Amino acid sequence: MCGIIGYKGNKNAVEVVLNGLKDLEYRGYDSWGIASLNGGISLVKDVGKVSLITLEDLKLDPSKMAIAHTRWSTHGSVNQTNAHPHFSGNENFALVQNGIVENYQELRGELKEKGYQFNTETDTEVIVRLIEDKLKITNNLKEAIMTAFNKLKGRNAIVVINKENQTIYAARNGSPLMLGIGEDEFILASDPSPLLKHTKNIIFLDDYELVTIGDTYHIYNLQTNQEIQKEIQTLTWDPEQAKKGDYPHFMIKEIMEQKHTIKQALVQDPELIKNLAKEINLAFGVYAVGCGTAGKVCLAGTYAFSDIAKKHINFAFGSEFPNFHHFIQSRSLLIVVSQSGETADTLEAMETVQEKNGKVVSLVNVMGSTIMRKSDYSLLINAGPEIAVCSTKATTSQLALMILLAYAAADRYDEGMVLLKNTADQVGLMLNEEFNNSLQQLAEKIKDQRDIYIIGRGANYAIALEAAIKIQEVSYIHAEGFAGGELKHGPIALIEENTPCIAFVANDETKADILSNAMEIKSRGGYIIGVAPENNEVFNYWIKVPDVSYASPIVNIIPIQILAYYLAIARDLDPDKPRNLAKSVTVK
């Protein structure tokens, strides 16, 4: 869950990788480091956010070749020593890594027995020492990297800079890595965001592939050492989409972009949607799987398929899905949802299904991502770059596509499109200054609360769970979501005078029951915040949302995204980079 970047070309490589790290910082921001080649390898690394660092701060001479890293720690404390890059003993090469070496303890023990010393607590240093050990046998860095990398267990990507032949080497298995090809320049990165300033021509590296970058590039199969020819693809994202513009934070920018992104999600091939619906209807056992916010989208999707298509869809979080492998067979179908397309637990769920020859349909935001390329069918949600760690616009785009698939499975595709286009129009009307101001005022009122509870029924139970995530991750207020009927089975004991409770009240068959649940909380002193198309006497504070039938999860989550944002601002927190979190979860 780190960001890695490498550059060789005609620009100042130090400046390129520094700016690239700032673009990648949402992947990890507890420490950072840069290694540049200018005769020898110069190394600068430190703890903290790289977004605060200027080119002058680095005190590195201009260079044509550099690698860099922004860290989300998994092994070892957050300190300067553990920050990447890591040097070889003779400082001939330096290395950065994204991923986890699952067998690092075993490898570290073997290397210690051979006399190797370790200066850090990281699993990354094990890779460095392992390459050094293999170099004693082969005296060829490329072959040593290949041999060492093939001994690693787990999902990993590495980039190595070598001073002797002025070459960059990069390898991946399970962890994302891509090569941008510009005019007399090459740039490696964990995701497309830092590439957009330089090129839209990109090669997505696959598992067990290695690329060398000298005067040109060459790609090899890591296991056979055979050179591979790969297709150059074109990125469709606009570089302006990855900029904040006039907004103070990416999170609020991306929330406001939902005026447009929900409609963009609906720009799909109708025949593909209808064919996917047929696959879903013909499958024997359909499962919807995602992690975090994407998991809540999947859960909401199971209600959409039940309500609209009268079809049962199973749900599991990606990390839990392998426990159900006994039920998977060749006619099974897995629907996976992931913003990044690189989520490790979701990829493992896919492997569970594909080992039984089942099929995978994916909803992803990043073109060419691992999940997209490993799926039998894939839909791009077309949300554009989502930089804030907290997912907003990708969430509603994913929800829109899940609802559309449910309508298509019911042979009601056109009806679904009408509903969702109307929903997108209603969101455009809802996201105005007055609406935002009312939520900012609510945030000021509840910012010092210790707990917030959220209730919903049906698909809005899933949205209650998602709303809790939003509030937790950016405001650090304890928040929990519950099925409306479950609160009185225990959690209602936590309600005290003025405890905020958000109730999602849709105009559907659950309305009377959820209002009754809200009254149960209010009668015990709770402060009821109603998210509903109509006001009700039970509400202490009413957040008005459009009445959009089965699309209510889309319009209901948006005000909580805004509320979470303003809670973070009111508590003097950075909503774009919450503590302990990273955007793309590429480790299990």
With 0-12 / 13-18 / 19 or more C-beta atoms within 10 angstroms meaning exposed / middle / buried, residue 567 is buried
The answer to whether 2 is a known catalytic residue is yes
Contact 188, 179 (CB under 8 A): yes
What dihedral do alpha carbons 273, 278, 284, 286 form, nearest 10°? 20
Catalytic entry in 2, 291, 390, 501: 2
Amino acid, single-letter form, for residue 584: S
Using CA atoms, how far apart are residues 177 and 225, in angstroms rounded to an integer? 19
Partners of 179 in the β-ladder: 188, 203
Contact 314, 288 (CB under 8 A): yes
DSSP 53-97: --HHHH-----SEEEEEEE--SSS-SSTTTSSPEE-TTSSEEEEE
Pairing of the two strands 286-290 and 233-234: unpaired
- Kindly provide the residue ranges of all beta strands, DSSP E only, lying in 413-545, ordered along the sequence: 451-456, 478-483, 500-504, 527-532, 541-544
The answer to whether 583 is a known catalytic residue is yes
Write out the H or E segment, with its range, that includes residue 173: strand 167-173
Catalytic entry in 8, 22, 359, 583: 583
DSSP 394-421: HHHHHHHHHHHHHHHHTT-HHHHHHHHH
CA 336 to chain centre: 13
Q: Which two tokens stand for residue 540?
A: 């202490």
**Catalytic residues, which ones?**
2, 583
